[in-house]
Amino acid sequence: MSCRLPLLLFALAPATLLAESAQPSIGYTGAPTDHGGQNCSRCHNSFGPANSDPTGSLTVQVQNYTSAQQNIVVTINHPTASRWGFQMTIREVSDETLEAGTFSDVSGMPFQVVCDDGSQFGSQPPCTATTTRQFTEHVNAPRTAAGAGFSWTIPWTPPPNEVGRLHVYVAAVAADGDGTDQGDRVYTKEITISSSGSCSIPNPPQLRTVVNGASFQPPISSNAMISVLGLDFQVSGYRRSVGLGDLENNDTTFPTVLGCVAIEVTGPGITQPVRIPIAYVQQDQINAQLPEFTGTGPVTLTVLLNPDQENQFKSDLATLTAQQAFAPAFFIVPNSTTIAAQIANTSIPVADPTLVPGGQPAKPGQIVTLYGTGFGDTNPLIQAGELAPGAAPLVNPITVTVGTTTVPASDILYAGASPGSITGLYQFNVQLPASTPSGNVPITISIGGFQTQSKLTIPVQ
């Protein structure tokens, strides 16, 4: 009742067909990371690909998730079919290789749960750290009168923590019951569900300080990335990063609520609190992006947990007095003074390989890409939280110094928003001077009278 693996010996075909009716090969739901996104029409294709015959149908009743278990109902119909099969899996949109939640077996029901252990049919639960992906599927594909259809009701327990949007993948077969994969129709569904907003962070947040998200120093500016430091922003040990399953507005904008955390700010030109885009949350740190301010002046900030719910907590109000026109800062490799950089147009980090696996020094005359925040407006101006769709150069000029050499403007090949990234991340494609010496070479960038951190370097050899 599901797609058999290809290239089986002809002599084994009858036994395999019986096995498929009893228990299908796993990984044919249409999930893109399983068998290249194939579904059961890989084999059951007499009438074309999935969903080719409009006289049949597949419905999947599933709700947006909370922490509570829900029943998912899968129903397959076709007016001439008399035997029925299905397979379902649920994945995180942010990482389709990760299973989301767990299915439950129910004794005596015509479905089962299997773990992806790399074999054709999988293994029985409980799933282990290496077999975490689950499928639920038919057992002994039910027979009915022609056209009666069939439904399965499967208990599903969502992830214990909110993980963004989920994809539900279901493939089902409406079979003619002759014991072959001919004469059958396949139907598929891909459904996206979201957290329904049930949050239960137990303690009020304790806000300690707000700093530049790259330098971890006080100066901040319009559109800059910031880090909010404190305690009880999340339960201990839980970390939440933005993924594809969190992006909003057709996957172009970072969310303003992440992991049941929100931040509201006011500032120059913003008199009423607005929620700002959030990129990361853990127990003692939140990474976010400030909005566009008009001018300079004080900024206020409040952290909200379980936002807009009856159990909402608010932190004390923080007033930030160091807001300025520019707050340029390099991102750095953790626990080092090495600037976050790559060999331009590659994914090779410019770093000591003992710090960053695969890292290597730059060469004199080579083009490197440096990353930072706090460099002000771009043209075109892209709003806070949006993904930069392409090149957006800085409005204001910069000066790049490598060692003691000022880099000519012609060797600053790009300075602006990092394409495809949140607008608070800036990148600089700079050709190193041919005279750059070997060793850990300092680099600074200046803009509008402000300069990046001193004593930060990249390795050159």
- What was the pLDDT predicted at 195? 87
| Residue where one domain finishes, among candidates 141, 163, 193 | 193
Read off the CATH number of the domain in which 38 is found: 2.60.40.10
Do residues 30 and 63 share a domain?
yes
pLDDT at 80 exceeding the cut of 80: yes
Do residues 333 and 430 share a domain?
yes
Q: How far apart are CA 344 and CA 389, in angstroms?
A: 19
Do residues 226 and 89 share a domain?
no
Do residues 183 and 256 share a domain?
no
What average pLDDT is seen over the chain? Answer: 92
Peptide bond preceding 24 in cis form (omega within 30 of 0): no
Do residues 266 and 128 share a domain?
no
| Residue where one domain finishes, among candidates 193, 220, 253 | 193
- The residue assigned the tokens 């080719």 is 52
Confidence of residue 349 (pLDDT cuts 50, 70, 90): very high
Peptide bond preceding 205 in cis form (omega within 30 of 0): no
Work out the average pLDDT over 342-364: 96
Do residues 61 and 145 share a domain?
yes
The domain total for the chain is 3
Tell the burial category of 405 from Cβ atoms under 10 Å away from its Cβ (0-12, 13-18, 19+).
middle
| Residue where one domain finishes, among candidates 171, 193, 215 | 193
Peptide bond preceding 79 in cis form (omega within 30 of 0): no
Concatenating the DSSP letter of every residue in 240-282 gives EE--TTT-BTTTTB--S-BTTEEEEEEETTEEEEEE--EEEEE
Do residues 184 and 150 share a domain?
yes
Best CA proximity match to 187, nearest among 366, 67, 59: 59
Do residues 107 and 42 share a domain?
yes
CA atoms within 13 A on the CB side of 368: 30
Q: How far apart are CA 14 and CA 34, in angstroms?
A: 25
Asked whether residue 406 is domain-assigned, the answer is: yes
Asked whether residue 200 is domain-assigned, the answer is: no
In degrees, to the nearest 5, what angle opens at C-alpha 279 toward C-alphas 275 and 280?
110
H helices, E strands: number in the chain: 1, 32
Do residues 168 and 211 share a domain?
no
Do residues 338 and 371 share a domain?
yes
- The residue assigned the tokens 């853990």 is 282
Confidence of residue 322 (pLDDT cuts 50, 70, 90): low
Asked whether residue 198 is domain-assigned, the answer is: no
Asked whether residue 201 is domain-assigned, the answer is: no
Q: Which domain holds residue 274?
A: 206-324
pLDDT at 264 exceeding the cut of 70: yes
Asked whether residue 1 is domain-assigned, the answer is: no
Best CA proximity match to 451, nearest among 217, 266, 251, 128: 217
Q: What is the pLDDT of residues 392-401, one digit of tens each?
A: 999 999 999 9
- According to DSSP, the β-strands at 323-324 and 220-221 are parallel
Q: pLDDT > 70: what percent of the chain?
A: 94
Asked whether residue 336 is domain-assigned, the answer is: yes
In degrees, to the nearest 5, what angle opens at C-alpha 87 toward C-alphas 184 and 164?
135
CA atoms within 13 A on the CB side of 98: 15
DSSP E strand stretches across 7-162? 57-61, 70-77, 83-92, 95-99, 102-103, 111-115, 134-138, 150-157
Asked whether residue 2 is domain-assigned, the answer is: no
Confidence of residue 200 (pLDDT cuts 50, 70, 90): confident
Work out the average pLDDT over 169-180: 94
Confidence of residue 9 (pLDDT cuts 50, 70, 90): very low
Do residues 48 and 88 share a domain?
yes
pLDDT at 11 exceeding the cut of 50: no
Q: How far apart are CA 461 and CA 68, in angstroms?
A: 56
- What was the pLDDT predicted at 37? 94
- What was the pLDDT predicted at 163? 86
Do residues 342 and 317 share a domain?
no
| DSSP, res 21 | H
Work out the average pLDDT over 354-358: 95
Q: What is the pLDDT of residues 25-61, one digit of tens each?
A: 999 999 999 999 999 999 999 999 999 999 999 999 9
Q: pLDDT > 90: what percent of the chain?
A: 81
Q: How far apart are CA 21 and CA 14, in angstroms?
A: 11
Asked whether residue 3 is domain-assigned, the answer is: no
